[in-house]
Amino acid sequence: MVEIEHLTKTYGTQNAVDNISFTAGKGEIVGFLGPNGAGKSTTMKIATGYLPPTAGTVRVAGYDVLVDSLEVRRHVGYLPEHNPLYLDMYVHEYLEFIGSVHGLRGSGLRARVAELVRRVGLSREQNKQIGALSKGYRQRVGLAQALIHDPDVLILDEPTTGLDPNQILEIRQLIREVGEDKTVIFSTHILPEVTALCSRVLIISRGKLVADSPVAELAARAAGETVVRAEFEGLVDTAKLAKLPNVRHVELAPDGAVLLRTAPGTDVRAAVSRLAGQEGWILLGLRQEQQSLEEVFGELTK
Ligand SMILES: Nc1ncnc2c1ncn2[C@@H]1O[C@H](COP(=O)(O)OP(=O)(O)OP(=O)(O)O)[C@@H](O)[C@H]1O
């Protein structure tokens, strides 16, 4: 569980994070989106106890980051944006070192490292030096170190950046599995990633939280309207279409199709089809067009 209340972080005169509040519970995978410089990494560093807030409170697993910073680190796994690793250490050696920092010892430590090596798909690379690994494999080492102490909360700063498409799918699958019984907050610039993985999305822009909603609701909420594109054979009386319930506006597209702008969350296609039947219009096509997540994101962060 992560609870953030009125968090502000100031650098000089700039509010990098400006009075944001949200909570994320067990079993939730929350996507953290925002343009470059929006304040994502700063929020994550504060939530992991690596940076103190200027104002506001952050609690992880019930522990305040300022009061119980050590407990917070016990309960949180963190993959920082640039994934700092000791490049001259071997994969095994590094994970054993991180595990020992968390108090694991002996056979328990070895078993945990072996389990994570398998889980993050490092089996073939486990005897290499980290400096010899590709970006994707280094990212897996970063994930393994974040998970080694079995934290309740996982905070991942752009975990899939720089990975090839197969690696992206594998890391997403891992995040999905981990998210079943932990709280996962991850930042990304890849919008479809949010749709693929998250139950909820937070959007931050210039330090302020501009959206906190279930992913499915985001498009409808920000769009304000849905567009239905109807193609008829020949001309039809658009005034009759405009009178249908939930239709706000009707216009003609340059190619002659009729565009019906409708209230958010409604679907007027059945009504259009019925009206066409009553009026004897030949309906050639009927498609509902949702605003894309990219458009919504652009609107919220402009
Ligand atoms: N140590 C620092 N000193 C001064 N300003 C900083 C510092 N760290 C971050 N900032 C500023 O705070 C703002 C938020 O930065 P942050 O790294 O949190 O953004 P971000 O959303 O993670 O961006 P990106 O997507 O590019 O990683 C930026 O304007 C950044 O320049």
Residue 215: its pLDDT value, please? 81
User: Rounded to an integer, what distance in angstroms lies between the CA atom of residue 91 and that of residue 123?
Assistant: 10
Ligand 1 neighbour 39 (Cβ under 6 A): yes
Residue 214: its pLDDT value, please? 86
Residue 219: its pLDDT value, please? 59
Q: Could you report the per-residue pLDDT of 18-58, keeping only the tens digit for each?
A: 999 999 999 999 999 998 999 999 999 999 998 999 999 99
Q: How far is the CA of 43 from the centre of ligand 1 (A)?
A: 10
User: Rounded to an integer, what distance in angstroms lies between the CA atom of residue 40 and that of residue 35?
Assistant: 9
Residue 93: its pLDDT value, please? 93
Q: Best of 14, 32, 83 to mutate for ligand 1, by most ligand atoms within 8 A of CB?
A: 14
Strands 14-24 and 208-214: unpaired
Residue 225: its pLDDT value, please? 64
215 within 8 A of 60, measured Cβ to Cβ: no
Ligand 1 neighbour 13 (Cβ under 6 A): no
Which DSSP string corresponds to the chain? -EEEEEEEEEETTEEEEEEEEEEE-TT-EEEEE--TTSSHHHHHHHHTTSS--SEEEEEETTEETTT-HHHHHHHEEEE-TT----TTSBHHHHHHHHHHHTT--HHHHHHHHHHHHHHTT-GGGTTSBGGGS-HHHHHHHHHHHHHTT--SEEEEESTTTT--HHHHHHHHHHHHHHTTTSEEEEE-S-HHHHHHH-SEEEEEETTEEEEEEEHHHHHHHHH--EEEEEEESS---HHHHHTSTTEEEEEE-TTS-EEEEE-TT---HHHHHHHHHHHT--EEEEEEEPPPHHHHHHHHH-
Distance of CA 109 to the CA centre of its chain: 31
How high is the ipTM of this complex?
0.96
Q: How far is the CA of 125 from the centre of ligand 1 (A)?
A: 33
Mean pLDDT, 10 residues at a time, over the chain (302 residues)?
A: 96 94 94 92 94 95 93 93 87 94 93 92 90 89 94 93 83 88 90 85 93 77 72 94 93 89 86 96 89 71 80
Residue 300: its pLDDT value, please? 79
- Kindly report the CA angle at 184 between 21 and 86, in degrees rounded to 5? 110
Pick the atom of ligand 1 nearest to 42's CA.
18
244: exposed, middle or buried (Cβ count in 10 Å: 0-12, 13-18, 19+): middle
What would the two tokens of residue 119 be?
Answer: 């889980």
